Amino acid sequence: MILEIKVPSPGESITEVEISSWLVKNGDLVKKNQVIAEIDSDKATLEICAEESGMLIIKAKKGDILKVGEILCLIDTSFSKEKSDLIAPSTIKILNQYKIDKKKIISTVKKTKNKKYYAIKKIPSMGTKNLINRSFDITKLSKLRRKLSERLVSVKNETAMLTTFNEVDMSNIFFLRKKYKNLFKEKHGVKLGFMSFFVKSCIIALKKYPDINSMIDGENKINFKYYDISIAVSGPKGLMVPVIRNADTLSFRGIEKTIKNLSNSIKNSTISIDDITGGTFTITNGGIFGSMLSTPIINPPQSAILGMHNIVERPIVKLGKIEIRPIMYLALSYDHRIIDGKEAVGFLLSIKESIENPIKNLIGSEENLKNSFELK
């Protein structure tokens, strides 16, 4: 029996995908539910699994663009390990139909490599008269990367984007994490990270400055009454932005667990379209890579994004005295068409107040600490 494996629909509004990789070779014997390929849409990378066991007949190569519903490959379910050196009559028929050489099915298909091009010429910028042999690789951008490029360019061209900055003293957050991180990890199985504090601080600030939790739709402005916070996460296929739904209803534990689950889904390429769709405001943390300061680009159609950065001990003045404190620079990029500078500055000041005084602004009181971290 010949089984057709067709391109599934990754999600609403997506009509075509690109084959990003084949994890098996033409002619291989595959098992039911084995991951055989990965496909890229303009929103996510998805895995394709074998629906039955049998011999694989590949119909489209890496880099091909296919429409949803088109045939990706075939599986001859009549094949078994015991008869792997034979080709069933039904397979011969299908091979002839698609003009596939049966010798290529039995033999091992060699892996293709990126072509290398060589140029021998003068390099004036290097200040040498010698001929230099230089090589380089040419690889096609993935559909995901191409779509990301288009979106980033469109943001710069279609929004009036500005960025404002501030700094925040992380001393009190350091103190709380040091005191409770082991208990938190033991109780909940996740780390008490910085992100949950910033998510909660952003929600407080978004409630004070609702235009930052909004978007432009034609001639209208939409103000969201809920708080779906997007978190930028670096994965094997590039930057992705999964969403913490109704973040205002979650505890510290709930936020940290949600972030961990979404990050694992990205690393394992099991993230769904729903997980990365929507979002009313974004937080990105370049600090994990060592970034001191940046101007993050708005995640459309949102109107603002908060950039976190690395934490560095810096000398600051406290009550007339110089002290060494762990300082993080914050950046808020915003669409000036609907967000005024006063609101943007006030938003960052609100976050600064929450982070520098977490017990008062995020937790309520010292007596409520263990309740907030759900340690009782």
Report the CATH number at residue 251.
3.30.559.10
pLDDT at residue 93 in the model = 67
Contact 303, 80 (CB under 8 A): no
Residue 229 sits in the same domain as residue 360: yes
Q: How many domains does the chain have?
A: 2
User: Cα dist. 88→33, 79, 95, 102 in Å?
Assistant: 23, 7, 11, 11
Low-confidence ranges of the chain (pLDDT < 50): 81-85, 108-127
Q: Are strands 304-308 and 281-285 parallel, antiparallel or unpaired?
A: parallel
- Asked whether residue 83 falls in the same domain as residue 177, the answer is no
pLDDT at residue number 89 = 63
Q: Which of 65, 81, 106 is the last residue of a domain?
A: 106
Q: Token pair 């230089």 is at which residue?
A: 134
What residues does 118 pair with on adjacent strands?
Answer: 135
Could you report the per-residue pLDDT of 212-245, keeping only the tens digit for each?
999 999 899 999 999 999 999 988 777 889 999 9
Residue 109 has a pLDDT of 37
The CATH number of whichever domain residue 58 belongs to comes to: 2.40.50.100
Kindly state whether residue 132 falls inside one of the protein's structural domains.
no
Question: Residue 20: which domain range?
Answer: 2-106
Do 31 and 172 belong together in one domain? Answer: no
User: Does residue 141 lie within any of the structural domains?
Assistant: no
Question: What positions carry a catalytic annotation?
Answer: 336, 340
Q: How much is the pTM?
A: 0.71
Residue 111 domain flag: no
Would you state the pLDDT for residue 327? 97
Nearest to 352 by CA among 148, 166, 194: 166
Q: Same structural domain for residues 181 and 81?
A: no
Q: Please give the pLDDT value at position 345.
A: 97
How confident is the model at residue 112, as a pLDDT? 43
The pLDDT value given to residue 147:
74
